[in-house]
Chains A and B, each alone.
Chain A
Amino acid sequence: MYYKGTQQECINYDNHVTEKEGYVKGDNWANPIKIEGSWYILKHDKYTSEMELVNELPPQNLEIE
């Protein structure tokens, strides 16, 4: 499951999860992913957001494919 939102919303979600989970050594939860102008971030099982929830990432038009 992923959240879809703005880049800043995704960054904020990552910061929130990272702080709550207490990762050490500067580690973080997940990196926002940009796909066709939209931003996504992997949902953590324990933390919700008001961003739109989607089951999976949309198909990506990756150059390497």
Chain B
Amino acid sequence: MIISPSAISPYKITTFQSGGAPFVGLLDLYPSAAGAYSVRRLSGVYSGSLMEVRRSSDNALQDIAFDANGDLDTASLLSFVGAGNGFVRTWYDQSGNAINFQQTTVSEQPQIVSSGSVLLENGKPLISRVNGSTGLESTLSGNVNRWEFGVVSTPSGVLSTLYSEIPNDYMCIAQNGSSSTFVNGVTLNNLYSNGVAITKSRDSFYDNFLTSSILTLDANDSGISNISFGYIPAGSIGMLNMQEIIFYNSNQSGNKTGIETNLSTYYEITLP
């Protein structure tokens, strides 16, 4: 990898693969995200780490970056964590807006390494819910023209939610067999699993995301000021398992197929 010597800002560095071709990520193809979080590099101009990890052996913290291919540097991750467990304290924003998701209460941090092994879904690292309080908080605000794309899964047999704001606003609760309120304080226009529109209900959301799947939604969530993955203080509604999620504040209907195809290719999820 070669770093351009003319680069000064961390967001203006252009990196090149060993073959000389510049790295092209999802955000290079579909820019202007409001927030972008992943277990892979999403942009050729992003040079920061992907996440900050706490190890269970001594609670030390370390930033984990991407490797030469843009994948999470799992070698560094495992070297740091060792034989114990690793938890995500911060999930860094790759959009350039520096709005990170973070959890400073250690028992509520999601897990990335278990007993010395990286948690995986379809061969890619997975940020996994631990318990009902598991969640990550941010200052990312809602928008009247919210579009989101992600790769997520619903933990089996428990309540979980995509995101929320205390005390009562929330976007998409997953609950097996439930027809209770699905969203509150937001307007969800359309919800897709692997590119196909699904019923906007707790049961449908739970069923359609039991395995890692591509999430797409468009909504008005402008009533939320500080988006948090999970419903943290409630103690029984944690976050979804996540590999990537990107927020836009503009209509992405023209990019929907392209972004979903990009996610499908990297995360090896077959689109119908």
Contact = CB atoms under 8 A, between A and B. Distances in A.
Interface string A24-49: 11111111010100001010100000
Given A57-B235, A64-B170, A31 B105 contact: yes
B4 interface: no
Contacts of B132: 57
Contacts of A27: 59, 89, 104-106
B59 A60 contact: no
Interface in A46-65: 57, 60, 62-65
A22 B236 contact: no
Contacts of A40: 235
Contacts of A57: 132, 235-236
Contacts of B60: 24
A35 B233 CA distance: 11
B59 A42 contact: no
B106 A63 contact: no
Contacts of A63: 167-168
A64 B106 contact: no
A33 B235 contact: yes
Nearest to A28: B105
A64 B235 contact: no
B107 interface: yes
Contacts of A22: 58-59
Interface residues of A, number: 22
Q: Which of A21, A30, A63, A65 has the most CB of B within 10 A?
A: A65
B234 interface: yes
B59 A23 contact: yes
B61 A64 contact: no
B235 A29 contact: no
A24 B89 CA distance: 11
Contact of B105 (A21, A24, A30, A64): A30
Contacts of A29: 105-107
Contacts of B59: 21-24, 27
Contacts of A26: 104
Nearest to A57: B235
Given A22-B59, A25-B61, A64 B104 contact: no
B264 interface: no
Contacts of A64: 168, 170, 173, 181, 184, 231, 234, 237
Contacts of B105: 27-31
Interface string B96-116: 000000001111100000000
Interface of B: 58-61, 89, 104-108, 131-133, 167-168, 170, 173, 180-181, 184, 231, 233-237
11 contacts: A21-B59, A22-B58, A22-B59, A23-B106, A24-B61, A28-B104, A31-B233, A33-B235, A35-B235, A64-B181, A64-B184
Interface of A: 21-31, 33, 35, 40, 42, 44, 57, 60, 62-65
